[in-house]
Amino acid sequence: MSNDASADTTLDVGAPALVADVSPTLTDAVAPPTPGTLPIGVAEPRIRWAGIVWGLVLAGMASAGVWFLLSGFGLEGLTPWVMTLTPFTLAVYIVLAFAAIAVIIALVAFIRHAQKTFTARRARL
């Protein structure tokens, strides 16, 4: 065969194939995974605990707000209470709010660490 660009590139249909047959057979097939198991190398999905915890916190805050507005105390009781706040008590409430947020973040971090530890221990079994 020459290196000429005008060489014939048609294939002879009757010629034996030069490529091996790579179609899968039953002996090469991998059994499908059983229900409830994942293939090797695939991690099972984790529960997003941060979303659950923050969702519960926000739902609690919303329900407390609704309860506050629908109770007898309502807005009529809120105005005198706000007027009696001093700068010191306002600062204390702000510090308490930041402390509550820090506690929630620490709780979420603890749950995440426990989940990773549990997953790592299960993987070693």
- Reported as a single tens digit per residue, the pLDDT across 82-118 is 899 999 999 999 999 999 999 999 999 999 999 888 8
pTM metric for this prediction: 0.58
Judge whether 9 lies within some domain: no
Is the model more confident about 77 or about 23?
77
Judge whether 14 lies within some domain: no
Judge whether 35 lies within some domain: no
- Reported as a single tens digit per residue, the pLDDT across 26-83 is 554 555 656 666 666 666 777 888 899 999 999 999 999 898 888 877 778 888 888 9
Phi, then psi, of 120 in degrees rounded to 5: -65, -40
Q: Number of structural domains, the chain?
A: 1
Judge whether 94 lies within some domain: yes
At 48 the pLDDT is: 87
Domain limits for position 85: 49-124
Cβ atoms of residues 79 and 20 within 8 Å: no
